[in-house]
Amino acid sequence: MRPVPITALSLCNGMGMTTAEVLAGLRAGRSGLGPCPPEIGLAGAATVGAMPGPLPPLPAEFAAYDTRQARIAALALAELAGPIERAKGRWGARRIAVILGTSTGGIGASELAYAHHQAHGVLPDWYSVETSHALDAVLPVVCGLAGLAGPAYMLSTACSSSAKVFAAAQRLIHLGVCDAALVGGVDSLCQLTLRGFAGLEVLSAAPCRPFSALRAGINIGEGAALCLLEREGEGPARLLAVGESSDAFHMTSPHPEGLGARLAMERALAGAGLSPGDVDHVNAHGTGTRQNDSAEGAAIAALFGPGMRVVATKGYTGHQLGAAGATEVAFTALAIAHGFVPESVGAAPPDPEIAVRVTTQFEALITRAAISNSFAFGGSNVSVLVGAPA
């Protein structure tokens, strides 16, 4: 399949409410992690990547969908109003798909509704499973606010959700189903995920340290990332290819040698007709757990050699689950567009048993191509290969 230009992108997460704020944080090595909000229930026991400011309510016509997740998605969407209007003028609203990934969906809204039911014996008037909880509840908001009428659907494969959307969009454009696609991911903080990872004993109370010898677990984050892909056009980077695999080694643990991860990266390279030597850096999944980082490091070293430059960015945002894949693809595109690789916050001192070169400080770098990895529970592995503009 032909490369697809990424003509515009937007981000919001614990680092900032706008793409400009997030980019400034990446350049400065400034983490967006902080204490867990008291309403989540793990105050003092968890560090998270929470949105740093209040989220504007949705317009009145979307009041039935007005959840935290929908507000985060709308915030990211607002930045793309101009590029989306230009794309609609070029292709038509019916020729632009919307494909988004999420993991938690509206679980946070359901937790609030359940608490209300416990206190009052009835669900709150604003709550509906279809418009508040469902994984696709955010779609009418995004499509409606953007005025898009093409194919629209959600993907939910845990932490690889919003990486897989890039593969779906490239296929749709290649097959002529659409001419452009708005892709990305959104997730919001909720008790279920925080307490769930605490139950798995992989949640760190301190800021996470991916690939560090001192790593002790993950942090959870929230946010959204959106990318506009078009059949033709110019932008900060290009989507070259996507590699996918499903190793199903274990429900919650990666294959210890990273076999599924390596297969996904190999398939991304094959899809673009590139060799390992054509890749200048890897944005790792890098959660900060002992097993994940060791397995991913082994896979990267086996494919690219021990000198491959590896960037781990969850020290900035925490693990955003369903939004992580798109966020890190956007980070990779920004790094390509602005000629740098960011510091891997928290990675120092790197684990000497992981045979890759982890970036521990900001570095100016002209990147021809880079891989962004996203790996999920159950062995759903996705590697998105991003290249410089043509």
* CB 372 within 8 Å of CB 160: no
User: Is 116 one of the catalytic residues?
Assistant: no
CA angle, 161 then 209 then 368, to 5°: 60
Name the token pair of 150: 């093409």
Alpha carbon of residue 263 to chain centroid:
20
User: Is 319 one of the catalytic residues?
Assistant: yes
E strand segments, 272-355: 281-284, 309-312, 340-341
Helices (H), the chain: 19-28, 68-78, 81-91, 107-120, 139-146, 161-175, 191-199, 259-272, 290-304, 314-317, 324-338
User: Is 338 one of the catalytic residues?
Assistant: no
- What is the C-alpha to C-alpha distance for residues 72 and 224, in angstroms, rounded to an integer? 6
* Alpha carbon distances (Å) from 52 to 12, 69, 383: 9, 15, 29
CA angle, 329 then 196 then 111, to 5°: 95
Residues 6+ apart with CB under 8 A from 167: 242, 244, 382, 384
Which H or E run contains 244?
A: strand 237-246
Count of all residues that appear for the chain in the document? 390
- What is the C-alpha to C-alpha distance for residues 265 and 185, in angstroms, rounded to an integer? 21
Name the token pair of 258: 């990273």
Side-chain-side CA neighbours of residue 236 (13 Å): 17
Catalytic residue (one of 133, 255, 281, 285): 285
Nearest 10 degrees: Cα torsion 292, 296, 299, 303: 180
The residue type found at 124 is P
Which H or E run contains 239?
A: strand 237-246
Name the token pair of 346: 């928290």
Catalytic residue (one of 133, 255, 281, 319): 319
Which H or E run contains 333?
A: helix 324-338
- 18 burial via Cβ count (<10 Å: 0-12, 13-18, 19+): middle
Catalytic residue (one of 159, 190, 208, 227): 159
Name the token pair of 377: 């529970």
Residues with active-site annotation: 159, 285, 319
